[in-house]
A and B are shown apart, each in its own frame.
Chain A
Amino acid sequence: MIRYASRRILELAIVFVGVTFLIYLMVFSLPGDPIAALGGNRPLPDNVVAQLRDQYNLNDPIWLQYLRYIGGLFTGDLGTTFDGASVSSRMAARWPVTITLALTAWGIEIIIGIGLGLIAGLRPGGAVDRTILTATIIATSIPVFVLGVAAQLLFGLQLGWFPVAGVSDGWPTAYLLPAVVIAVFGLAAVSRLMRGSVVDTMRSDFVRTLVAKGMPNSSIVGLHVLRNSVAPVLTFLAIDLGFLLGGTVVIEGIFNLPGIGQLLFDGIRTHEGPTVVGVGTALIVIFLVISVVVDLINSALDPRIRHD
């Protein structure tokens, strides 16, 4: 186990350096001068551009810029945005929104997805099963921005059940609608996985034994089937949490949620190297950590999986 853990940590370090450099290189090679573009339609005076390029060291070669960035990282400095704010404070202001949104969506996926999967799996081929299948297929095939705007117009504007946009109403009101829209996609996968798993478990020998013993149906499902079926779904849910934390740029835009996805999008749009690398690296670390945790959980749940 210790060997396994140290190997993973070594991998993490290599991936970290490689990825930060790659992202830095990509932002650097985007066409166009980010400083000249700062003024938008109203171009900046040449000497202002020169001054700012100098201030942000944009005239240095890429490797020097990168080394300076990495050097800053060790002192906890994630760099500065073009308007002079520190990237770390920007990220600190954005994470709470994204984490709240991701966890809300994740909760909805877990409760509804597992619930639907269980119902469908207990009566495979029945009317309920087929209805759920059709509904989830339709839901996943609608593009997320269509679903988002439609939900906003219907529930926010027409019915007025939820705020149209913004986080000023706080949790849960402000987050429920966007969370449901995002959850719809994971929901379909979770419920299909769960259904298949339940069908398999219901056919297994130990369930037949339990039935033969005369155990009430509710106890069989609640105590045994549910626990045994949920393992494969967990892996998917964990990876999905990583995606959700990556922020959903489109939904954050539609519902005006100042989250990490918007920050990343703005960073790319304005060619702000430090912002893009900072957010990108944070997301990669989240993924790496989650994948390690998933491996560990899996081996705990299923003793047949060994990591040595």
Chain B
Amino acid sequence: MRTLRFSIVAALTVAVTLSACSSGGSGEGDRSISVGVTDPTTLVPARQSVAFDFSAAVWSPLTFVRADGKIDYIQAESIESDDSVTWTVTLRDGWTFHDGTPVNAQSYIDSWNAAAYGPNAFENAGQLANIVGFDDLNPEKGKPSTTEMSGLQLVDDLTFKVELKDADSQFPLQVSQAQTAMFPMPESAMKDFDAYTKHPVGNGPFEMDGDYTENQPFTVTANNDYAGDDPTVDSITFKPYTDLSTAYTDVRAGNLDVASVPPNRLPQSEADFGDSLYTFEAPGISFLGLPLWDERYKDVKVRQAISMAIDRDSINDVIYGGQFVPADAFTPSIEPGTPDGLCGDYCKYDPKSAKKLLDEAGGFDGAMEIYYPGGGGDDDLYNAIANNLRQSLGIDVTARPSADWAEFLDNRTAEKVDGPFFSRWGALYPSQQATLRPLFVENGGCANCVPWYTDEVTAAIRKADKDDDGTGEAYADVQDLLLEDFPAPPLFFETYSYVTSDKIADLPTSPVGNPQLTKVKLTD
């Protein structure tokens, strides 16, 4: 248990470390950087939701998807399957955790079992849901009768087999850099997760320096025994910010090296930072969710009319500083095989045709209220859409925020919304599957993001999961089905923007939209 005295000691330690860093700042040998983050509160990879950059530094994934879409095998030497149902994972020999223990097949089996074990209630457990035996660890009622998934089998020290419930060609992508529930943990972690969350031990290029204390900066340093490629920096300090606008200002002042750009700073970020603004294409997509449980939205022409009434280009320029991409398909274009331009005229701003379509459908009865989560900085977006719809379609449209995220989620899940609503999904690996499954398969991950689940689409997704050869073209059928029924207008392909101080010459990325901190190029 943390005490006051402990916090003060920790604060002092951090202060001393930081001043040591900054005093070395002018010297040539300083190869440390600082990154602004949201306070993670937990660092266990199977639990974290805002510590992706930290996780990518402290762990090495089995596979890493490069910017060009190719898969690098990092901790895995190979991942192979004949039928896409049973996968054989072979690990590289000689890799160790930071505590010196070896990374072997048993570590993966134990870590995945722990991550999937229901009573642990690990937030990212869903990433393992397709493994045979997952349901045994997560019974609807009561304690599970076992602690192991029957789908995981040890073959030898460095090899294990994974049996999936359904054939899934995307498995090698599901164990890539942002699927943190798939990261290995050493034996010591399983004994005491409370200790592990403060001082996580991974298999990556950086190791945790000291313990994590809530809302205090924490540092990782390069691990000399790392068996993979050496990182380009010696240490990374993660500084928690409650308001990311402040982190942005701190980068401008040169007190911080990397920060993500909050939505309200996007329009000015190019003027403020010029070349030090990095806009990464990301596997995120936003929709205007429609309440398909409401009769008034049953006609596909109404849904198409709403889509054509939205001026995506102007909204992008004004609200996102032109950094997003107006969507023209049902998955982000960074996901391989996405049929760019599929949406065609239905995603182009054309108020006259929109009005005509709506009239053909018999008009719209009553007022329309767009519902979105309050406090997330989305007010401008939904007010702009409301204005678009009002002017183009002549409907009385208003935008109403909820009190907070919890209230919004409750109402959407319970289908207690009677107007268009907030809907977005950020995928964690670059495959159309990672967007289509959560949105269009019931219980796929995002309940009622698009409340439209049909047997036809589900079957088409399952078929593509089985057949895809890595190009993503197998998912084209799914997208055609979606276009036909047009359940929700796609709005934007998201980008994640970052700004850097003068210390950083280049910030590389990967197809999950995050910066690759291990490969940062420093200014000489």
Contact = CB atoms under 8 A, between A and B. Distances in A.
B246 A30 contact: no
A51 B407 contact: no
Given A41-B424, A156-B249, A96 B214 contact: no
A32 B250 contact: no
A168 B15 contact: yes
Name the residue among B14, B214, B217, B402 with the largest chain A CB count within 10 angstroms.
B214
A208 B388 CA distance: 73
Interface stretch (B1-9, B78-86, B468-476): B1-9
A48 B410 contact: no
Contacts of A30: 403-404, 406-407
Contacts of A43: 409, 445-447
B192 interface: no
A84 B250 CA distance: 31
Contacts of B122: 48
B393 to A, nearest CB: 29
B215 A33 contact: no
Contact of B255 (A40, A85, A89, A164): A164
Interface string B41-65: 1100000010000000000000000
B118 A51 contact: yes
Contacts of B413: 36
Q: How large is the interface on B (under 10, 10 to 19, 20 to 34, 35 or more residues)?
A: 35 or more
A149 B476 CA distance: 49
B100 interface: no
Interface string A61-96: 000000000000000000000011110011011111
Interface string A24-63: 0000001111101111111111011001100100000000
Given A86-B1, A93-B2, A93-B214, A163 B255 contact: yes
Contacts of A164: 246, 249-250, 252-253, 255
A287 interface: no
Contacts of B123: 38-39, 44, 48
Contacts of B255: 163-166
B409 A37 contact: yes
Nearest to B144: A47
Interface string A155-183: 01100100111111010000000000000
B406 A32 contact: yes
A37 B405 contact: yes
Contacts of B250: 164-166, 256
A210 interface: no
Interface string A268-292: 0111000000000000000000000
B140 interface: yes
B508 interface: no
Contacts of A255: 246
Interface string B253-279: 101000000000000000000000000
Interface of B: 1-4, 7-8, 11, 14-15, 18, 41-42, 49, 118-119, 121-123, 125-126, 129, 138-140, 194, 197, 213-217, 239-243, 245-247, 249-250, 252-253, 255, 375, 402-410, 413, 424-426, 445-447
Interface of A: 30-34, 36-45, 47-48, 51-52, 55, 83-86, 89-90, 92-96, 152-153, 156-157, 160, 163-168, 170, 252-256, 258, 262, 266, 269-271
